């Protein structure tokens, strides 16, 4: 594969290509986010990384790159259940619409697209499928989550893979699938003890008094023996409710302490003292990157703050899931 990586972010698609074992080369990566680009360049200094709007890429420019494959994860905010769901009317869809408009002019024979669950019900999805059919692509849509692949993180996402004849899939393509063809779901996920930081100073990650007092009842607490975590969003670390799981240092058998909190007024010292005994903290960026299947040699520049790391990871992909899809695309 000769690949153009659009909306390249922190390089999730690139890492997925490496993890897949499929022979391929990233000819160029494109993203407009300077912080994400600094992380990409830090990990892949040899790659041509274009810091520019996708809409600035002309068909002539793309064809001159001699690419036959596009991997992309367009902005998902227009389709998220917590957003305004403005769909194709959202300004952030304009670059994706542009790419679809020039697709008939591109010498591209393979495409992989990732987006948020909910995209499959959007007008943008209808435009995507209509364009793929117009251009003669065979395609298959999926809704998949890492827990199906043995990874203890729930992150349902929409995926579409497409090929142009004479290439074809080695399975019967059809309506949206919720598992990969010829692959059984993993029987079990590994314990999150395997992704925990052992040497890092974790003091700054423990939940503060304000969170413990006001939001502890909305947190999803996990333990070292847990085999799942909730989806992490870009607001993780700044907010608690709905942004991802938190971790307790206690053995799970002692989690009954949490139930005792209801005996106290959340504004009382007794409540706060007991809450502190739960030893609850945010997962570190490194731990989240492991849950998203990034390898150990993936790193952030030293100048990247934890807030930036959480935001970038929240916008990224699960490497293992996409790697499996790239295998189907070859």
* Residue 76 bears catalytic tag: yes
Render the burial of 160-174: b for 16+ CB within 10 Å, e for the rest.
bbbbbeeeeeeeeee
116 closest CA partner among 91, 82, 149: 82
For residue 219 the two structure tokens come to 């947190």
138-144 sheet: strands from edge to edge:
49-50, 25-30, 2-6, 69-72, 110-116, 157-163, 138-144
Q: Which of 76, 160, 189, 231 is catalytic?
A: 76
2 closest CA partner among 133, 163, 110, 102: 110
d(CA 9, CA 36): 5
Which residues belong to the active site?
Answer: 76
């Amino acid at each position: 594969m000769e690949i153009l990586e659009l909306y390249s972010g922190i390089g999730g698609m690139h890492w997925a290509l490496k993890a897949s074992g499929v022979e391929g080369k990233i000819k160029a990566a494109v993203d407009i986010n300077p912080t994400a680009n600094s992380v990409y360049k830090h990990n892949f200094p040899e790659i041509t990384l274009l810091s520019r709007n996708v809409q600035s890429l002309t068909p002539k420019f793309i064809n001159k790159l001699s690419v036959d494959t596009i991997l992309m994860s367009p902005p998902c905010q227009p389709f998220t259940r917590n957003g305004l769901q403005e769909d194709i009317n959202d300004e952030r869809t304009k670059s994706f619409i542009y790419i679809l408009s020039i697709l008939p002019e591109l010498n591209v024979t393979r495409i992989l697209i990732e987006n948020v669950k909910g995209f499959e019900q959007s007008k943008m999805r209808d435009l995507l499928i209509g364009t793929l059919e117009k251009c003669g692509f065979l395609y298959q849509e999926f809704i998949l989550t890492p827990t199906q692949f043995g990874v203890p993180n729930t992150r349902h996402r929409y995926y579409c893979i497409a090929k142009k004849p004479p290439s074809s899939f080695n399975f019967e393509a059809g309506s949206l699938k919720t598992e990969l063809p010829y692959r059984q779901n993993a029987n079990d996920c590994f314990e999150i003890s395997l992704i925990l930081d052992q040497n890092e100073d974790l003091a700054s990650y423990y939940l503060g008094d304000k969170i413990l007092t006001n939001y502890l009842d909305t947190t999803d607490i996990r333990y070292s023996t847990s085999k799942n975590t909730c989806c992490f969003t870009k607001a993780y670390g700044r907010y608690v409710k709905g942004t991802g799981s938190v971790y307790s240092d206690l053995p799970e058998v002692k989690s009954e302490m949490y139930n005792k909190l209801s005996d106290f007024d959340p504004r009382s010292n007794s409540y706060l003292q007991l809450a502190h005994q739960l030893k609850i903290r945010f997962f570190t960026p490194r731990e989240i990157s492991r849950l998203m299947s990034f390898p150990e040699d993936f790193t952030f520049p030293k100048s990247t703050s934890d807030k930036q790391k959480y935001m970038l990871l929240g916008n990224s992909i699960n490497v293992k899931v996409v790697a499996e899809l790239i295998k189907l695309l070859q």
